[in-house]
Structure 1
């Protein structure tokens, strides 16, 4: 990730956390001057890269340049496949495996029951969420689960939601791990999502990140006989043993 020195100064805590996942290159007046890197082995390096199947983004390189949002929308219209668009990169979404779908079903059931009769609404993928870093930098993602608290107010005339979910959940797989841990973590935090749950079927853990003012505030990881707890919604919890297959 490359940022300028002003951005680092204004959001040091955010980039200190992100440096645990990948190196942060700092520039001044367009020139690289420093690198923020983790002392411990970065999380991304702990992943067995030889076993990882990356999302098919290079297939849509558009003559070696990043795709525009309009080009992404055209691809989406012309294909029956599912895609996400993050910072100019297009990612093909592979069909999920059983462990992924088991965790998705169990967790959505917990959320659905909790929010019955409440103002917020749980939604499940595929469901496009449009997130804007700036008016020009538009991204389109499909979180596995979303908690939306302004659904009726943010529906456009074509019945598409144009707001920002309060809580999002991503269930890791080998093909999405790096994107979910790094790119989406930064995207959700930067665009106003309040809470981000990362569900890992491989090690049967759930990590909950709480964001305030588009920056890291709190986080916790739950495993074994524990129950993942929401910072944002009091009383919302999910027993780890229920989410994952034995």
Structure 2
């Protein structure tokens, strides 16, 4: 997210109506509206790979897959937020005439320089309050690494999966997601080498 577009607070209803007509996407946090930054091709390739892998496995099942054009609504006691996850799986979707989802089971964010801090902080804290959420994936776009927050009987547990051999269990959906599929055809940026004297 970038700086707030307006200083005055906007109602959720006004935000949703405006967003349907806007050529650019904006996120909404408690009345403040934020323009979303653009993403690099590597971000889109990774998100596309995840969408394809999940979509293939979900074919014929009741859960639905949504891309980054569908918002998720996060409700707090004193305010509401709307974010655009890169990918979300929803097993009890909202009506088709709405532009957001309330009950995602899996949320995926592909990390980039401009979004990493928000995805690992503000959005992590917000998403983990969603009662239906079972898994939150933070997918790195600079190396083959996925940080996974998965719910168990005691709350969310953090796990890290790396490399071509990594396989993420998605028990809530009944299948696994291999990292080799997430990063298929992805040319990762060369790591900067710092020389020491």
Structure 1 residue 75, shift from structure 2 partner = 4.8
Retained in 2: the 8 A contact 1:122–1:145? yes
Answer yes or no: is 1:109 the counterpart of 2:49: no
Determine the structure 2 residue equivalent to 1:196.
136
Q: Output the aligned Cα RMSD.
A: 2.4
Q: 2:168 — aligned with what?
A: 228
Do the aligned partners of 1:125 and 1:143 also contact (CA within 8 Å) in 2?
yes
Larger radius of gyration: 1
Whole-Å Cα distance in 2 between the matches of residues 235 and 78 of structure 1?
A: 37
Matched, 1:142 2:84: yes
Q: Which runs of 5+ in 1 are unaligned?
A: 1-54
- For this pair of structures, how many residues does the alignment match? 184
TM-score, scaled to structure 2: 0.81
Larger helix share, 1 or 2: 1
- Cα distance, 1:162–1:200 mapped onto 2, change above 3 Å: closer
In structure 2, what is the equivalent of residue 129 of structure 1? 72
TM-score (norm 1): 0.66
- Identify the structure with bigger relative contact order (alpha carbons < 8 Å, sequence gap 6+): 2
Aligned to 2:179: 239
- Give a deviation string over 1:82-121, Cα, whole Å, max 9, x none: 0011244422112211110110111111101111111111
CA distance in 1, matches of 2:158, 2:105: 16
Q: 195-204 vs 236-245, which deviates more?
A: 236-245
Separation in structure 1 between the aligned mates of residue 10 and residue 99 of structure 2, nearest angstrom: 23
Report the Cα distance in structure 2 between the residues aligned to 1:125 and 1:227, rounded to whole angstroms: 23
Residue deviations 1:184-221 (CA, integer Å, cap 9, x gap): 111111122221010111132111101357x7432211
For the residue of structure 2 that corresponds to 1:236, the secondary structure is strand
Q: Distance in 2 between matches of 1:74 and 1:184?
A: 23
